[in-house]
């Protein structure tokens, strides 16, 4: 099985298309960093205008930690497409290239092959997130320095001590990786139904957009579905950046407002991964390969 995974990883990283995702992330992040380095003041003024009615902020808001949060918020909407580029191509791409029939006539079971492919796609996804972390977090920390993290939620703002931030990012990135692996699993599942990659890639993004809209709309009939949609849980990484307060309204350092929500979301995402991958294996084992 390890041989299979190694081979799949070899195929992924020898393919030029793979590096599009890494390049795209780098380009996006560097542009945002460049823009904010040049004119961070305007942006922080823009951020503060809703709170500036009663409060004055002193200190460096535009620091590495805030940059990373902004970029995570932006990019985790777009990274799914970059994940789908590879994951949704795993089977359909082989069928398109004509190599699927060769692979399946080797002495490995279809289950082993699919699992190896999915694990390789998972490794790719995690490496994408590590790359994101290096650029969005570490590079931002280097360029913009450290400081407290000042975040604006819809009905309140949160101020997190700089010494209390890093572990939250570690947790957030791990969660984001789980979220993106869920996207990979969906793309992987759709990949078994097609013999070209465009279909599954587009279908993956369409599902994500569609379910994200359902997750966002506040229509009672959809509220019943929301807890079960994986898109509702993709953004639960943000829960790492909310603090509990004590009775004196002091934020408790090292706390998370809703840790249960993180756990629940993680479980929902894991269930989806198992469902998508299990479904893919089940269906593919019964499929006649005519490509």
Partner 1 sequence: MYKIFLLIVGFQISIFVQAQDMTALVMKVKAKLDQVNDYEADGNMKTDVSFIKAPVGKVKIYFKKPNKFRLKKEGGISLLPKGGVSVNMSSVIATNDFVALAAGESIVNGTTCKIVKLLPINEASEIVLTTLYIDEPNLLVRKAITTTKENGTYEMEMNYGVYAKYGLPEKVIFSFNTKDYKLPKGITLEFDDNEKALSDAQKLKNKKGRVEITYANYIINKGIADAIFVK
Partner 2 sequence: MQQIVRVTDLTKQFKNLKAVDHLSYTVNEGDVYGFLGQNGAGKSTTIRMMLTLIKPTAGHIEIFGMDLAKKRREILRNIGAVIEKPDVYKYLSAYENLQLFARLSGIKPTRKQMMDQLEMVGLAQRAEDKVKTFSQGMKQRLGIGIALVHNPQLIILDEPTNGLDPQGIADIRNLILHLSRESNKTIIVSSHLLSEIEQIATRVLIIDKGKKLVEGNATELLDPAQTIVELQTLDNAFALQQLQLSNWTDKIQGQRNNTIVIKLDRKEIPALHTDLVNMQIQLLSLQPRHSLEDYFLQVTSGNQHVDTYTN
Binding site for partner 1 (CB under 8 A): 50-61, 73, 77, 146-148, 150, 152-162, 164, 215-216, 218, 223, 226, 232, 235, 238, 242-243, 245, 248-253, 258
Residue 15 sits in the site that holds partner 2 (CB under 8 A): yes
Q: Any idea what DSSP says for residue 60?
A: -
Nearest 5°: the CA angle 133, 83, 229 is 100
Q: Nearest-CA neighbor of 126 among 181, 167, 72?
A: 181
Residue 65 CA to residue 174 CA, distance in Å, equals 17
57 binds, among partner 1, partner 2, none (CB under 5 to 8 A by kind): partner 1
Query: How far, in Å, are 124, 183, 232 from residue 96 at the CA level?
Result: 21, 22, 33
Nearer Cβ to partner 2 (99/196): 99
157 binds, among partner 1, partner 2, none (CB under 5 to 8 A by kind): partner 1
Given partner 1, partner 2, none, residue 78, with its beta carbon under 5 to 8 Å by kind, binds: none
Closest among 237, 260, 212 to 129, alpha carbons compared: 237
Cβ 67 to partner 1, closest distance in Å?
14
Q: CA 70, 71, 77, 80 torsion: positive or negative?
A: negative
Work out whether 11 is an interface residue with partner 2 (CB under 8 A).
Answer: yes
Which residue stretch of 12-20, 178-186, 252-260, 273-281 sits at the interface with partner 2 (rule: CB under 8 A)?
12-20
* Entry field: residues in the chain: 291
3-state secondary structure of 277: helix
CB of 10 to partner 1, least distance (A): 37
Residues that bind partner 2 (CB under 8 A): 3-4, 7, 10-11, 14-16, 97-99, 101-109, 286, 288-290
């Amino acid at each position: 099985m390890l041989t299979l995974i190694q081979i799949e990883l070899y195929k992924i990283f020898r393919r030029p298309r793979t590096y599009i995702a890494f390049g795209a992330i780098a380009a996006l992040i560097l542009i945002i960093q460049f823009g904010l380095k040049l004119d961070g003041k305007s942006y922080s003024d823009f951020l503060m205008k809703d709170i500036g009615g009663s409060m004055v902020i002193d200190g460096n808001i535009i620091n590495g930690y805030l940059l990373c949060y902004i970029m995570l918020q932006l990019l985790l909407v777009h990274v799914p497409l970059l994940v789908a580029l590879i994951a949704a191509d795993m089977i359909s791409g082989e069928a398109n290239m004509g190599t699927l029939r060769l692979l399946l006539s080797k002495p490995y079971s279809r289950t082993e092959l699919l699992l190896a492919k999915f694990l390789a796609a998972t490794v790719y996804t995690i490496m994408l997130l590590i790359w994101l972390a290096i650029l969005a977090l570490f590079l931002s920390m280097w360029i913009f320095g450290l400081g407290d993290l000042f975040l604006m939620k819809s009905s309140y703002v949160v101020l997190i001590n700089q010494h209390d931030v890093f572990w939250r990012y570690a947790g957030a990135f791990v969660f984001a990786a789980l979220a993106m692996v869920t996207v990979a699993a969906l793309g992987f599942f759709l990949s078994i139904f097609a013999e070209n990659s465009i279909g599954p890639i587009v279908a993956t993004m369409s599902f994500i957009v569609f379910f994200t809209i359902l997750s966002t709309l506040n229509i009672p009939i959809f509220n019943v579905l929301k807890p079960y949609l994986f898109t509702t849980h993709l953004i639960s990484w943000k829960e790492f950046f909310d603090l509990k307060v004590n009775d004196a309204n002091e934020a408790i350092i090292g706390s998370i407002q809703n840790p249960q929500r993180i756990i629940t979301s993680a479980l929902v995402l894991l269930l989806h991964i198992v469902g998508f991958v299990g479904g893919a294996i089940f269906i593919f084992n019964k499929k006649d390969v005519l490509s």
